[in-house]
Structure 1
């Protein structure tokens, strides 16, 4: 008997990631409709060079691989489409519109309730391994995700090559 799992002909990892990204879409859609309830706020980390990401050049220069944005007090024009969202944020008092496909998101955290989702995003050619959280002009504390497994869902089935 072998300890290796057989290769699946069903792409479970892709199906689960798509379903969990739908959670992010639904949550943001509810914020569009009703505003942020209570103390909820979000840290959203995404690949800056993923297909479909549209952010200002000065942000790509500062965050060539990944950046984390804060959706809390100072954001505007939040819109959610089937496969992406857009939001206005201020970085060093410079207003910027960001267009981010859900497929580019690597993590979604709501520290108010210790909830986090982490995603696998295929590497984009030219990716750099540095990650530096964006300092948009929100009033949030540093991102801390639970490392004890409580309310954290990590999706990575380890793709067979």
Structure 2
């Protein structure tokens, strides 16, 4: 038994669970309204499954867009599988939740960022977005998009709640 409650780790698991639930709903019913996602993940995570040419092109991080065209979205307890279009070539991907660096839905000014400070220690941050009209609208052929706009955004770090 420890002397403290590990709120950072609890928040981390809760935010990953939120992503799982949202993607699970999308797999069943599709994307509602103007919702779309920018998901940045660590391509070097040992459980990420992407084509060799994608891992060669994006050896650290890659951002995918789930918006107009996607297929075969399957969500499980550890991650999700999806087929996306890269230059008119459908490619299957498997992305574990633990590999996700950012999850952004600019249509409702919502974002999550998972920062790793030290080996094995991660903090989840809720990142409110304020200028979604400036959010990148990338076609599905583009494998990487710029990060969501950071200007004027307030980042709330879990460190500010720790003693």
The answer to whether 1:148 aligns with 2:146 is: no
1:94 to 89, 97, 100: 89
Structure 2 vs 1, CA of residues 83 and 15 (structure 1 numbering), >3 Å: closer, same or farther? same
Structure 1 runs (4+) greater than 4 angstroms displaced: 152-157
Match of 1:137? 141
* Conservation of the 8 A alpha-carbon contact between 1:120 and 1:155: no
State the partner residue of 2:60: 65
Alignment TM-score, normalising by the size of structure 2:
0.74
Q: Which has the higher strand share?
A: 2
Deviations 1:66-94 (A, max 9, x none): 00000001110001001100100011222
TM-score, scaled relative to structure 1: 0.75
2-side partners of 1:23 and 1:156: how far apart?
Answer: 21
Larger relative contact order, structure 1 or 2 (CA cutoff 8 Å, min sep 6): 1
- Match for 2:74 among 76, 79, 86? 79
Query: In 1, are the aligned partners of 2:68 and 2:140 still within 8 Å (CA)?
Result: no
Shift of 1:12: 2.4
Higher-helix-fraction structure = 2
Structure 1 residues 95-144: Cα deviation after superposition (integer angstroms, max 9, x where no partner): 11000100000000001111100012577xxxxxxxxxx97427xx8542
RMSD between aligned residues: 2.9
Matched, 1:23 2:23: no
SS at match of 1:53: coil
Q: Which residue of 1 aligns with 2:40?
A: 45
CA contact (8 A) 1:45 1:68 kept: yes
Provide the rounded CA distance (Å) in 2 between the counterparts of 1:117 and 1:146.
12
Unaligned runs of 5+ in 1: 1-7, 124-133
The alignment of Structure 1 onto Structure 2 pairs a total of residues equal to 140
